[in-house]
Structure 1
C-alpha cells in the first residue's frame, strides 16, 4: 500500500487502535488491521523497565505506518513521569500526534506544546505539525475540558478514556455503559463547541454483542471517531461509521421524498417523513462525501 499524500484529516479518522509499545507482534497486527490511526502506548500498556526498548520499536512502527498511509501516534507518560524521555525516544519517528494521559490542566498541555516545539526544531520537523490529543480520564479533566481545548492549535482531537474515568467517578461498570452516558454526552458537547473532534471511549468488553450496543449509543450521541483496544473491533466500527453505497442511495431518496412532501404536504397513501429523519439523511450524505473525497485523492 502506498502512503497517502496527506495525513487523514481529523474528521474522518474513524478508529484509533491502541497497541503496547514494546510488542512488535501487536504492531504487525495493527498495521494489518485497517485502522485509520495507530496509537503506540508507552503508559499503561508498557512497563517502566520496557520503555527504552519500546521507544526504539515505536520509531520503527511509526515509519512503517507512514509508508502504509496510516496515521501513526503515541501515548506518552505525563511529562513529570517519563514523558520527556518518551518524547526524546520516539520523535525521530515523526509521530503525527502525541496523546497526553490524565489531562486536567492547561499548564500540562502548554508544557507539552513547549517540549514538542523544542524537539521539532532540533530534529527539523515542521514546528507545530505534531498534534496533541488530550486524554480525559477524570472528573477534573472533564469539567476543565473547555479551557483545555483552547490551549493551542496542536489540539485537533480529544479522547475520552473509560476505565480510569469510571474508577475516578466510583462508577460500577456494566456492559450497557449507562454509568458513563452523561460523561460521554458532556465530553462530546464540549469538544464540538471548541471545534475539536471527539474520540469516543473504547469498548473494553470483547463481546461483539456489547460492541454493537456500544456503537448504537456512540453513533446516536453523535460520535464519528472511536478508540479501540481489540483489533477485531476495527472492521465492525468502520462499518458503523462508513455509509455504504446503498445507505447513500437510500438517504438521497429520503431527502428527495421529503422535498416533494413539502410541496404537497398531504399526499394520499404516503409515509410521512419528519425533519429528524431528513436531517440524519443529509448528515449521512455529507459524511460519505468526505470519506469518498479522501479515498479518491488516494487513488489520484
Structure 2
C-alpha cells in the first residue's frame, strides 16, 4: 500500500486498511518542497507500522535526484525496505546498497537489515531484470510499475489490462528465476468488477503480491491471493480423491487429473506458509 510521505490523513487510512506493507512515497506522491518535512514524518510512520505489525518501507527518489537526501532523512526510522524508482541498471542497485550500508553503520542499525526493492518502469528496466535482481543480496522482491511503463511502451490502457499481460508474465518469470518476490503493478481503475478479473488473471499465472494506492482495494487483493476456507476444503478433498484412486481405493466423486492435484497441493502449501508468517508476525487474520 503506497501512501504520500507527508499526508497524515492518507497515511492513517493506509494503516487502517490492513495492508501487509506500507510504502511511504517521497517520489510521485510528495512534492519537492514537502520532502524535508516528509522525511521526518516518515521516521514516525515507520514506528507506527511496527506497532501494528505492518512492514514499513520507503520509496525514495533516484540517487541522482533527491534520493541521497531522502535516504539520510528516513534511515533513522529503520525502514524494512527501500524502494528505488526507475531502476534500469545493476549499477543503480549497487550504488544504493553502498549508501544504505554506510547509513546503517552511522545510525547503529543491524548490518544488511534493510532490503532493496527495485521498481521497473521502462522497457530498458524489464530487459535488464536478471542483472538488476542479482546486483545485491539486499534485493528479495521487485515491483512492476503500470503508468510509466505503459507510457514508455506507448500502450493503450484499458481496465481489462491486456496491454500489460505479456510484460507482467515476463516479470513473473524473471523474478521467480532470480528467487525474488514479484510484486504486481497497481490496478488504477475504479472498477471493482475489472479489478476482480485482473486479480483472478494475476493469481492464475502465479502472481501472489500486488501493490495499490487505494485503501479500499486492500481487502480484495488479500481475498484474491489468500486461500479461503472453501478453497482449502476443496483442495483437501481433491487431494484425497486423487490419492485414493492412485492407491486403488474407492475415491468417490469426479475424476481428479494430475494438474488439478498438483495445483491443490500448492494451494495447501501456500496456506501453510501464510499461517507460519502470520504466527511469526502476530497477525491473527488467518488464525
TM-score (norm: length of structure 2): 0.95
Q: Does 2:30 align with 1:46?
A: yes
Q: Does 2:88 align with 1:101?
A: no
Equivalent positions of 1:141-220 (< 5 A) are: 141-220=125-204
Match of 2:2 in 1: 18
Match of 1:252 in 2: 236
Match of 1:275 in 2: 258
Q: What SS does the corresponding residue of 1:153 show, helix, strand or coil? A: coil
* Gapped regions of structure 2 (runs ≥ 5): none
Name the CA distance, whole Å, in 2 between partners of 1:82 and 1:231: 27
| 1:269 Cα deviation from its structure 2 partner | 8.1
Deviates more, 1:288-297 or 1:52-61: 288-297
Match of 1:287 among 270, 274, 282: 270
The answer to whether the 8 Å contact 1:162/1:201 transfers is yes
Match of 2:74 among 82, 90, 110: 90
* Gapped regions of structure 1 (runs ≥ 5): 1-16
Deviations 1:81-120 (A, max 9, x none): 0000000111111100000000000110000000000100
Match of 1:296 in 2: 279
Match of 1:138 in 2: 122
Name the CA distance, whole Å, in 2 between partners of 1:269 and 1:66: 49
| 1:279 Cα deviation from its structure 2 partner | 1.3
| 1:268 Cα deviation from its structure 2 partner | 10
Q: What SS does the corresponding residue of 2:23 show, helix, strand or coil? A: strand
Deviates more, 1:170-179 or 1:270-279: 270-279
Name the CA distance, whole Å, in 2 between partners of 1:53 and 1:124: 23
Name the CA distance, whole Å, in 2 between partners of 1:295 and 1:102: 32
Q: What SS does the corresponding residue of 1:227 show, helix, strand or coil? A: coil
Match of 1:65 among 49, 65, 78: 49
Name the CA distance, whole Å, in 1 between partners of 2:39 and 2:166: 36
The answer to whether the 8 Å contact 1:18/1:41 transfers is yes
Q: What SS does the corresponding residue of 2:219 show, helix, strand or coil? A: helix
Q: Which has the higher contact order (CA 8 A, sep 6+)?
A: 1
**For the aligned residues, what is the CA RMSD?**
1.6
Aligned length in residues:
283
Name the CA distance, whole Å, in 2 between partners of 1:219 and 1:143: 23
The answer to whether the 8 Å contact 2:75/2:103 transfers is yes
Name the CA distance, whole Å, in 1 between partners of 2:55 and 2:8: 18
The answer to whether the 8 Å contact 2:22/2:56 transfers is yes
1:234/1:268 CA distance change after superposition, 3 Å: closer
Name the CA distance, whole Å, in 2 between partners of 1:205 and 1:288: 29
Match of 1:3 in 2: none
| 1:215 Cα deviation from its structure 2 partner | 0.1
| 1:195 Cα deviation from its structure 2 partner | 0.4
The answer to whether the 8 Å contact 2:241/2:252 transfers is no
Name the CA distance, whole Å, in 1 between partners of 2:230 and 2:196: 20
Name the CA distance, whole Å, in 2 between partners of 1:215 and 1:182: 15
The answer to whether the 8 Å contact 2:53/2:283 transfers is no
The answer to whether the 8 Å contact 1:206/1:230 transfers is no
| 1:140 Cα deviation from its structure 2 partner | 0.4
The answer to whether the 8 Å contact 1:103/1:136 transfers is yes
Deviates more, 1:288-297 or 1:195-204: 288-297
The answer to whether the 8 Å contact 2:245/2:251 transfers is no
